[in-house]
Amino acid sequence: MNAAYLYSLIAVVLLGLLAYAGVAVAGLEGLFGIFIPYVALIVFVAGFANRIIGWGKTPVPFRIPTTSGQQKSLPWVKHDKFDSPYNTIGVIGRMALEILLFRSLFKNSRVGFSDAGGYQKIYYKWVVWLWLFAILFHYAFLVTIVRHLRFFAEPVPFFVEMLAKVDGMMQVGAPGMYLSGVVLLGMAMLLLVRRIVLPKVKYISMAADYFPLLLIIGIAATGILMRHFAKVDVAAVKELTMGLATFRPAIPEGDISALFYVHMFFVSLLVAYIPFSKLMHMGGVFLSPTRNLPNNSRAVRHVNPWNYPVKTHTYEEYEDDFREKMKEAGLPVEKE
Amino acid sequence: MVDTSKPEALIENIDHTPPKKPWEEVPPDLSAGKFCYPTKKKNLEYLSLPTTTVDEWSPADEEWPLPDNWQQIVHDGFKDLLGKYRSLKIFMDTCVRCGACADKCHFFIGTGDPKNMPVLRAELLRSVYRNDFTRAGKILKKIAGARPLTKEVIKEWFTYFYQCTECRRCSVYCPYGIDTAEVTMMARELLTLLGLNINWILEPAANCFRTGNHLGIQPHAFKEMIEFFCDDIEEITGKKIEPSFNRKGAEILFITPSGDAFADPGTYAMMGYIMLFEQIGLDYTFSTYASEGGNFGLFTSSEMMKRLNAKMYAEAKRLGVKWILGGECGHMWRVIHQYMDTMNGPVDFGEVPVNPITGTRFDNAASTRMVHITEFTADLIRHNKLKMDPSRNDMYTVTYHDSCNPARAMGLFDEPRYVLNAVCNNFCEMPESTIREQTFCCGSGSGLNTEEIMDLRLRGGLPRANAVRYVHEKHGVNMLSCVCAIDRAALPPLMEYWVPEVGVCGVHELVGNALVMEGEIERTTNLRFEPLNEEAEVEADV
């Protein structure tokens, strides 16, 4: 709630100041430019792998897809291949729609009450906003990440160049503004505002929801500031990032703005934070048993690795309990 | 307290505004009418489940009868489940609290209680998971959303995990497919480790274990009940039918929920099955041992589910049938479709189901060897094997309620609709956001169909009832059909309260009405002994 929001804001601001002061006052470029990024990367890789392996090693005892469409049954009943997939191809289709287009979220609706028609009626209105904010946010993030590959490869791969060109198509300002950066910042803000303004969403939000959003806002904001306002020495930045990428890290001669180190620190924090947070949804979405399993459990047996024998009430025991009554009622029995 | 005797007052007083206090500080309401009665100890003992420390207790009591090491028991149980279920781990780890699920739950819509938002329901468990099993939670505690397991938390779990009907509607909208049914099942399994289950679940489970069905109907009584329906059928159609019981060598074993043998309107669906099988000359048998399709183990633990389900395959094998035909039931079909073969298979009896009348091979049931009655009947109708007189259902304008489990855990949507369109002339759908995969629960599923929480059930069933009301006002719908025995028990009081003009029936009741049987007398009543022609004029303007 308010406290959660405030704590997260204070935390992000303090962390930003820490990096700024660390570089500008204490001259800790090496700490914020080399050491912390490497540590963050190690934490991320180890933590992420650990999580995925942890999930992967845990059995899926039952095949429990949520069926959102007609099952495959009789040949003349039109089967919904993606919402009730029957085989791996269908599942891949369903997962692709889910991961690339956020299909479930697209179905979102809002419930309301109305007394039009002379009685209290509940209505359901399709709402696109959450889906729209979310999908723009994620794609803008993806484009931003791919665009940043130019700092970690020499020569810059052609697709990165191409993407940057498309992304900068608007040709606003010099250097040209990237649409992805602006959309990322804008959508992160809208997602944040949504959390603060909508009473229900506010009620369920925790520090762990505000913190990463604010961190991402910090990342996008410092990025845009560096490009358009602080005009950071890009050549020097690339020297540093190439050093990191080729494992020959060094702090370049000349002066990179402390703002850059704030940016770098935020990114490091975010990356290291992923494995321990809800941001693991990026991995989890692939493994969700209600989505990634075919709805064919009557046709193909699913095996539960920990299935164990249980105590049942056998027919023999049942007949022992009721034999006389069964005989009297003319029901066949095994033992006279 | 809202006066629940007035539906309009109830609905107008629903407030979706969250309280001022954070949810962690709001204690569960354990006043009378807000909780299900806990199970009697004898049921726990009969099923060899852990027991509470005293026989008689109430959730309203300040001190709950938990064993001294209750915390350790829950912690160990949780750890065990996390090692067994990837679903649980993923659902604990990936939620971003986007809120898409918040207003998808019928209990939230009807109560406005924020802990009925699926996201918060899961947080009740997730907060303890973070505290006990994650690094972030262990270090950052409350900031990371972790909270220690206290007796208050157990009370909260008991309140809200017996206030979820495991309907899976929220999981349709979740971008990660987080399924609250799965979360609730895990939480109930943990609660059951402390003996905290409810009587409306464990009494049927114990009955089922002993007598083969939830209602505790003994073999001779089961046979008598079916024979009683046959007398009714004879009176209506002039056809004398003598079904067989526990007959070895039958081609097909028929299993349906015992509710269909016990109470209206399920009994009319039962009559429909029997008439259908007679008309096509099906070589089938009932079993008094496997006399229950439903499985309240599903609402207790995976082990209990397996223990109760085992009878189906065991009986099929003992009787030497080729395959099993299953009646209309909701959660029964979740168990059969998604669990049975895995738990109690691979099958060692029979063959891939083939409809003996049409020759259709049910390849979709090749491994499980069990076919849904609407798949079977739809196939018969498609092949013109049944003569129907849909005008015998003309007194009804029918709509169809997709039961949660056949909808979202099976994908059974078009088969029942195909049957309905063949057996009645007036059929119309409820609004799109309330049917098919978006269907709303009756509000009483997963073992919550119990009298003491009637207020909650009426609220939980409100979205469903409101959609029925819509088609009632707009199209004159007066009959709500369904393929679920719990629905047939839960929807009548729900309709009585919200839309009293609408009745409830099984799909095969309408089949029984319309089915023209060879050599039958001219029918003057439907299966409910209501005259066939009286209401025709009233509905003529629809």
Give B176's contacts in chain A (Cβ within 8 Å).
281, 284-285, 288, 291
Would you state the structure tokens that stand for residue B388, as one six-digit string? 């129907």
Task: Give the whole-number percent of chain B exceeding pLDDT 70.
Answer: 98
CB pairs under 8 A between A and B: 310
- Segment B501-526 mean pLDDT: 97
- A86 burial (CB, 10 Å; 0-12 / 13-18 / 19+) is buried
**Does B14 sit within 8 Å of A315, measured CB to CB?**
no
> Taking 50 as the threshold, does the pLDDT of residue B537 lie above it?
no
Q: Are residues A260 and A290 in the same domain?
A: yes
Would you state the structure tokens that stand for residue B437, as one six-digit string? 């995969």
Q: Are residues A92 and A168 in the same domain?
A: yes
| DSSP per-residue string spanning A236-283 | HHHHHHHHHHTT---PPSS---HHHHHHHHHHHHHHHHGGGSGGGHHH
> Taking 50 as the threshold, does the pLDDT of residue B536 lie above it?
no
| Per-window interface: B 500-529 vs A, CB < 8 A | none
Give A120's contacts in chain B (Cβ within 8 Å).
8, 11-12, 466
Q: Is B384 on the interface with A (CB under 8 A)?
A: no
Give A311's contacts in chain B (Cβ within 8 Å).
48, 307
Q: What is the DSSP letter of B38?
A: B
Q: Are residues A333 and A221 in the same domain?
A: no
Q: Are residues A154 and A211 in the same domain?
A: yes
Q: Are residues A18 and A105 in the same domain?
A: yes
Among the residues of A148-206, which ranges form H helices? 158-167, 179-197, 199-204
Of B174, B364, B409, the CB nearest to A73: B364
Cross-strand partners of B400: B481
Dist CA A109 CA A14 (whole Å): 38
C-alpha distance from A151 to closest chain B C-alpha (Å):
31
Using one digit for the tens of pLDDT, what is the confidence trace for B213-243?
999 999 999 999 999 999 999 999 999 999 9
Give A296's contacts in chain B (Cβ within 8 Å).
364
Dist CA A156 CA A146 (whole Å): 11
**Does B342 sit within 8 Å of A62, measured CB to CB?**
yes
What is chain A's mean pLDDT, rounded? 95
Query: Which domain, by its residues, includes A109?
Result: 2-305
**Does A208 sit within 8 Å of B145, measured CB to CB?**
yes
pLDDT at B540: 47
Cross-strand partners of B481: B400, B505
- Segment B344-368 mean pLDDT: 97
Cα dihedral B265/B270/B271/B273 (nearest 10): 140
- Segment A145-163 mean pLDDT: 95
Using one digit for the tens of pLDDT, what is the confidence trace for A247-258?
999 999 878 899
Using one digit for the tens of pLDDT, what is the confidence trace for B453-493?
999 999 999 999 999 999 999 999 999 999 999 999 999 99
- A146 burial (CB, 10 Å; 0-12 / 13-18 / 19+) is middle
**Does A76 sit within 8 Å of B18, measured CB to CB?**
no
- Segment B155-175 mean pLDDT: 97
**Does B145 sit within 8 Å of A207, measured CB to CB?**
yes
Q: Please report, for residues B151, B193, B214, the alpha-carbon distance to residue A14 in angstroms, rounded to integers and kept in the order given.
A: 38, 46, 62
> Taking 70 as the threshold, does the pLDDT of residue B534 lie above it?
no
Residue with tokens 């199970």, as numbered in its chain: B39
Using one digit for the tens of pLDDT, what is the confidence trace for B392-437?
999 999 999 999 999 999 999 999 999 999 999 999 999 999 999 9
Give A67's contacts in chain B (Cβ within 8 Å).
407-411, 437
C-alpha distance from B214 to closest chain A C-alpha (Å):
14
Give A141's contacts in chain B (Cβ within 8 Å).
none
**Does B345 sit within 8 Å of A301, measured CB to CB?**
yes
> Taking 80 as the threshold, does the pLDDT of residue B443 lie above it?
yes
Q: What angle do CA B340, B344, B347 make, to 5 degrees?
A: 95
Phi/psi region, residue B149 (left: phi>0; alpha: psi -120 to 50; beta: rest), is beta
What is chain B's mean pLDDT, rounded? 95
**Nearest-by-CA chain B residue for A133:** B98
Dist CA B477 CA B500 (whole Å): 12
- 3-state SS assignment for residue B324: strand
What CATH number corresponds to the domain at position A217? Answer: 1.20.950.20
Q: Are residues A8 and A152 in the same domain?
A: yes
**Does A78 sit within 8 Å of B342, measured CB to CB?**
no
Phi/psi region, residue B39 (left: phi>0; alpha: psi -120 to 50; beta: rest), is beta
> Taking 90 as the threshold, does the pLDDT of residue B514 lie above it?
yes
pLDDT at A117: 79
> Taking 80 as the threshold, does the pLDDT of residue B52 lie above it?
yes
Q: Are residues A199 and A330 in the same domain?
A: no
| A53-57, A112-116, B371-375: the lowest-pLDDT one | A112-116
Confidence grade of residue A118 (pLDDT, cut at 50, 70, 90): confident
> Taking 70 as the threshold, does the pLDDT of residue B96 lie above it?
yes
**Nearest-by-CA chain B residue for A57:** B86
Q: Are residues A76 and A144 in the same domain?
A: yes
pLDDT at B4: 67
Among the residues of B145-282, which ranges form H helices? 151-161, 169-173, 180-193, 199-211, 219-237, 259-262, 266-280
pLDDT at B2: 54
Confidence grade of residue B541 (pLDDT, cut at 50, 70, 90): very low
pLDDT at B141: 87
Using alpha carbons, select from A188, A174, A183 the residue that is nearest to residue A229.
A174
Task: Report which residue type is found at A323.
Answer: R
Q: Are residues A316 and A296 in the same domain?
A: no
> Taking 70 as the threshold, does the pLDDT of residue B268 lie above it?
yes
Confidence grade of residue A53 (pLDDT, cut at 50, 70, 90): very high
How many structural domains comprise chain A? 2
Give B431's contacts in chain A (Cβ within 8 Å).
124
What is the β-pairing status of strands B398-401 and B370-372?
unpaired
Q: Are residues A250 and A320 in the same domain?
A: no
Q: Are residues A208 and A325 in the same domain?
A: no
Using one digit for the tens of pLDDT, what is the confidence trace for B145-160?
999 999 999 999 999 9
pLDDT at B107: 98
Residue of B176, B209, B466 to mutate, testing the A interface (most A Cβ within 10 Å of its Cβ): B176
* Phi, psi torsion values for A39, nearest 5 degrees: -60, -45
Dist CA A20 CA B192 (whole Å): 54
**Does A208 sit within 8 Å of B144, measured CB to CB?**
yes
- Segment B320-342 mean pLDDT: 98
> Taking 60 as the threshold, does the pLDDT of residue A180 lie above it?
yes
pLDDT at A19: 97
> Taking 70 as the threshold, does the pLDDT of residue A66 lie above it?
yes
Q: Are residues A246 and A330 in the same domain?
A: no
pLDDT at B542: 44
> Taking 60 as the threshold, does the pLDDT of residue A1 lie above it?
no
